[in-house]
Chain A
Amino acid sequence: MTPADDTRGSRDADRAGAGVRSTPSPAPAQAGVVALELALTLPLVALLLVAAFGLVGLVRTSLVAQEAARLGARVAAVDDDDAAVRRAVVDLLGPDARVEVGPRRPRTVVEVRVSVPVDVAGLHRTVAARSAALVEPVVD
């Protein structure tokens, strides 16, 4: 490589470097489009996030309601008192919970339905669950 080649090479490199450094800023119209796209996308992303958190809350409440119904049915199977069933459910679901205990006789299936109000992303919904168990006979 001659000194002339070397000089030309460094000049090319300078030009390339200068090209990278002096990237032209987007035209005002293009910047406006980017801002518009961002303005349209951000609410969608926010909506998706709110929906995701709402779904998680709904599933959590559904699982707790299901567990409360299971416990209520179990208590109903071994205890004659409806108040005991309500206590067991309210302990899990809170005081807003509604409990319905079906009729029961020994060796028949008793059904327990529970429901609780819940806020999902600002919307008032009711989560319901039910369970059933065979009423156990009284042993003397």
Chain B
Amino acid sequence: MGGTRDREGGQALLGAAVGLFAALVLVAVAVHVAALLVTRARASTAADHAALAAATALAGPGATDPTTAASQVTSALDARLVSCDCATVPVQVTVELDVPSPLGRLPDAITTVRATGHAGLVTSPGPRGS
């Protein structure tokens, strides 16, 4: 009889441990997904602003090196400039950002966010479609 009670107690403890572990994993995954979402928004901003900087540097008054301009913006946002297809407008810039994760070391596929931005020039002085 005592043995049965002990066995039941052990099962309850095991169930509680499994439940607690599952809840912890769930919380960690939720926090990682949240960080992923925010990093994605930051990467998208970095790519767009780097592309605008490159297009301005390339085609604006007093032209300068577009890759340097894109690099300045990505550095200011703690992002890495992966590629800058900036020889002609429209330019295409790709940047990368790391996701701060509570789960420790994970594969790059889920800890790195990549975004691409495009920018060109509107050459027609009139409204679009005219």
Main secondary structure of the interface of B (DSSP, over half): helix
Instruction: With both chains docked as a complex, state the minimum distance between the C-beta of A77 and any C-beta of chain B, in angstroms.
Output: 8
Q: Which of A37, A55, A108, A134 contacts B30 (CB 8 A)?
A: A55
Residues of chain A lying within 8 A (CB to CB) of residue B57: 107, 134
Q: Are A63 and B53 in contact (CB under 8 A)?
A: no
Query: B110 at interface (Cβ–Cβ under 8 A)?
Result: no
Residues of chain B lying within 8 A (CB to CB) of residue A52: 30
Beyond A134-B57, A137-B61, whether A66 also contacts B42 by CB under 8 A is yes
| Contact residues on A (Cβ < 8 Å of other chain), bracket | 20 to 34
Cα separation A67 to B37 with both chains bound (whole Å): 12
Q: Are B49 and A59 in contact (CB under 8 A)?
A: no
Instruction: With both chains docked as a complex, state the minimum distance between the C-beta of B109 and any C-beta of chain A, in angstroms.
Output: 21
Cα separation A26 to B6 with both chains bound (whole Å): 18
Beyond A107-B64, A133-B49, A134-B53, whether A55 also contacts B34 by CB under 8 A is yes
Query: A89 at interface (Cβ–Cβ under 8 A)?
Result: no
Beyond A137-B62, A139-B61, whether A131 also contacts B77 by CB under 8 A is yes
Query: B73 at interface (Cβ–Cβ under 8 A)?
Result: yes
Q: Are B45 and A70 in contact (CB under 8 A)?
A: yes
Query: A136 at interface (Cβ–Cβ under 8 A)?
Result: yes
Residues of chain A lying within 8 A (CB to CB) of residue B48: 70
- In the complex, which residues 78-130 of chain B have their Cβ closer than 8 Å to any Cβ of chain A? none
Closest residue of A by beta carbon distance from B45: A70
Instruction: With both chains docked as a complex, state the minimum distance between the C-beta of B123 and any C-beta of chain A, in angstroms.
Output: 14
- In the complex, which residues 30-67 of chain A have their Cβ closer than 8 Å to any Cβ of chain B? 37, 44, 48, 51-52, 55, 58-59, 62-63, 66-67
Instruction: With both chains docked as a complex, state the minimum distance between the C-beta of A3 and any C-beta of chain B, in angstroms.
Output: 43
Binding site for A on B (CB under 8 A): 12, 23, 27, 30-31, 34, 37-38, 41-42, 45, 48-49, 52-53, 56-57, 60-62, 64, 69, 72-73, 76-77
Chosen A-B contacts, 25 in total, with CB atoms closer than 8 Å, are A37-B12, A44-B23, A48-B23, A51-B27, A52-B30, A55-B31, A63-B37, A70-B48, A70-B49, A73-B45, A73-B49, A77-B49, A107-B64, A108-B72, A129-B42, A131-B49, A131-B77, A132-B73, A133-B49, A134-B56, A134-B72, A136-B60, A137-B61, A139-B60, A139-B61
